[in-house]
Structure 1
Amino acid sequence: MKDLRIGIIGVGTMGADHAERVARKISGARLVAVSDPDTDRAAAVAAPLGDVRVIGDPLALIGAPDVDAVIIASPGFAHAEQLAACLEHGKPTLCEKPLTMDTESSLRVVEAEHKLGRPLIQVGFMRRFDPEYAALKRLLDSGELGRPLLLHNVHRNKTSAPHFRSEMIVRDSLVHEVDVTRWLFGEEITRVTVHAPKPTGLVADGVLDPQFAVFELANGALADVEVFVNFQVGYEVRCEAVGERGSATIGLGVDVLTRSAGHWGGAVPEDYRTRFATAYDVEVQRWADAAARGGIDGPTAWDGYAAAAVCTAGLESLAEGRPVAVELARRDEVLG
């Protein structure tokens, strides 16, 4: 088989990381084009990666005959138009979260894909591909711990960009725990409460950081999430599942423990690209393998829509200080 020819839209931090990954690590695939409003940046990313051209218009990249599949790493507000173009051209797509910026447009993406009769959109919830998360999922599915009852999550970043506002903490950070919770429990989230304690003094006025969310699931289970995007220490993600007959914790970072100069401990990753490097590699390789067959292998457009619905409820809860029910279309009515 010929190599899958991949184009990437958006070469900011995540897109540039994916460009390097596709060009140097992913078998059976090669990077052929990148697109970004900052054409100088796009050219700088493309230059060391071989025969990769820069296409100014992202829609032109999607329609290019020598692009077989697309990775969308552009800002969320551009996703709806770009996903529509990918569906129109029938090209398998790996879309970084969020699927779109709101529930309504996400549902339209799901409906448009369904009309094609085959899945083409995979959403970049990379934690499903992390070895620790995958092991936890297998353990819960095995029944060894009995019925899962509770899920405790910690999601901390060292710092965030100056433009990272309160609502982005929900839509761009908390969204990962939304997907993790739905995936690990195999249930939809029905109600969300987002609490905002007194914020850290290291953020701009008006930014509510940290935040603490509680998810109520259809089967009666509960999940909580601490999100703190200006933690100052490093990137830390932990998850503990509590079942009827025991518990399991991942993300403790205890693989290498050092003792030196009167201290002991280990390193805290600087950011998500370090912590989830293996997850990203596995995710993109599996997606590329599936895309070569014309499909996907991971979180679906429906998963992206469901996450958007939960985050919409979370934003309302954050603004109004009360629990908010998640408004989710009936899956059987949308997908048949």
Structure 2
Amino acid sequence: MARSSTLNVAVIGVGRMGADHVRRIREVVSGARVSAVVDADADRAEAVAARAGGCAAYTDPAAALAAADVDAVLVASPGPAHEAALLAALAHDLPVLCEKPLTPDPASALRVLDAERRLGRRRVQVGFMRRYDAEYVRLEQLLRTGRLGRPLLLHQRHRNVTSPPGWTSDLLISDSLAHEVDATRWLLGQEITAVTVLRPAPSGDAPAGLQDPQFVVLETDGGAIADVEVFVNCGFGYQVRAQAVCERGTAHVGDGHAMVTQADGRWGGTIAQDYLERFEDAYDREVQTWVDSVRHGTPTGPSVWDGLAAAAVCAAGVRSLTEGGRVEVELPERPSLYG
């Protein structure tokens, strides 16, 4: 597209995440507009379209992708619907920003990768928004300089106030841990080769049958070890933290830098209650960067390969959770397109 052109975006899936992206494109992001919204719930699609203004509402993604005024696609539907939307977008040669997961399993992710390879150029960016968080960006830049020496350990935490209705033990890995999987690969610049999931006694506040919390150990091809505490019913707030332990020092992010008050003999602040609050700025930067890159040529953020790698690690994690023990990650050879 010409740099002066406005990018017309179709948003597929306008539940909480998708509706927030519609708002973001309308109110925050420059160089783009929402030209279509798609949702299986026709009433919801119509309501979001009315708020967006000048926007068509669809229940069929194929109809939206075939519209003349759609230049790009933002996929925010549930994970199991991603493969069909991505393959349809690639068939139209449309650039895509796809919320994680790319797809729920490695086999479907590989089909998306093969479709993109046949095009011969990158069209898909995966929504691993940690890569756009200011604190995480500073940590990645510091580690890349080598000032602290080689990273040896990476300690991470992922806590939610409560789990959504119907949440399963597998989803703690395939949905929650997926972010730490990508953050580990990105921060360390290494692939994850094996996963071990440990099962502490479940919290009494977790729904019956839910293994929460979980403690995950990730091994990398560079010899580093990453561990992740995933606790989705902690009850007090949304917390995401990471600490890199290197040969000559440590660095950590995620303690939060919100306002702290001191009055009446007390001091304190607030803890974010969900991901949209904690990572609002990161989402803004992610979508703006995607829009700019597409208008100038090609998506530049996390690729289909990153989505496939995360799916493969999570699949190994689910096996470890179910069967016990250490499970090696199975990945194909990395194509040159993603070099």
| Counterpart position of 1:176 | 179
Which residue of 52, 70, 80 corresponds with 1:49? 52
Q: Unmatched 5+ residue regions in structure 2?
A: none
Q: Is the 8 A contact 2:154 2:245 kept in 1?
A: yes
TM-score of the two chains, using structure 2 as the length reference: 0.96
Q: Is the 8 A contact 1:192 1:310 kept in 2?
A: yes
Percent of aligned pairs with the same residue? 55
Letter in 2 for 1:325: E
Structure 1 stretches of 4+ moved >6 Å: 333-336
Aligned equivalents of 1:157, 1:255: Cα separation in 2? 18
- The structural deviation recorded for 1:320 is 1.1
Verify: 1:61 aligned to 2:68, yes or no.
Answer: no
| Counterpart position of 1:312 | 315
Q: Is the 8 A contact 1:111 1:334 kept in 2?
A: no
Counterparts in 2 of 1:290 and 1:53: CA distance versus 1, 3 Å: same
Verify: 1:163 aligned to 2:171, yes or no.
Answer: no
Aligned equivalents of 1:205, 1:48: Cα separation in 2? 39
Classify the secondary structure of the residue corresponding to 2:138.
helix
Q: Is the 8 A contact 1:120 1:294 kept in 2?
A: no
| Counterpart position of 1:101 | 104
Correspondence 1:121-132 to 2 at 5 A:
121-132=124-135
Counterparts in 2 of 1:335 and 1:27: CA distance versus 1, 3 Å: closer
Aligned residues: 336
Aligned equivalents of 1:131, 1:272: Cα separation in 2? 15
Classify the secondary structure of the residue corresponding to 2:48.
helix
Letter in 2 for 1:274: E
Classify the secondary structure of the residue corresponding to 2:236.
coil
Which residue of 232, 236, 246 corresponds with 1:233? 236
Verify: 1:224 aligned to 2:227, yes or no.
Answer: yes
Aligned equivalents of 1:182, 1:31: Cα separation in 2? 32
Letter in 2 for 1:158: V
| Counterpart position of 1:279 | 282
Aligned equivalents of 1:315, 1:24: Cα separation in 2? 39
Moved more, 162-171 or 303-312: 162-171
- The structural deviation recorded for 1:109 is 0.9
| Counterpart position of 1:8 | 11
Aligned equivalents of 1:250, 1:16: Cα separation in 2? 29
Counterparts in 2 of 1:333 and 1:138: CA distance versus 1, 3 Å: closer
- The structural deviation recorded for 1:116 is 0.6
Correspondence 1:208-223 to 2 at 5 A:
208-223=211-226
Classify the secondary structure of the residue corresponding to 1:287.
helix
- The structural deviation recorded for 1:332 is 4.3
| Counterpart position of 1:259 | 262
TM-score of the two chains, using structure 1 as the length reference: 0.97
Aligned equivalents of 1:24, 1:332: Cα separation in 2? 38
Aligned equivalents of 2:327, 2:117: Cα separation in 1? 29
Verify: 1:135 aligned to 2:138, yes or no.
Answer: yes
Which residue of 3, 22, 27 corresponds with 2:25? 22
| Counterpart position of 1:331 | 334
| Counterpart position of 1:119 | 122
| Counterpart position of 1:75 | 78
| Counterpart position of 2:113 | 110
Q: Unmatched 5+ residue regions in structure 1?
A: none
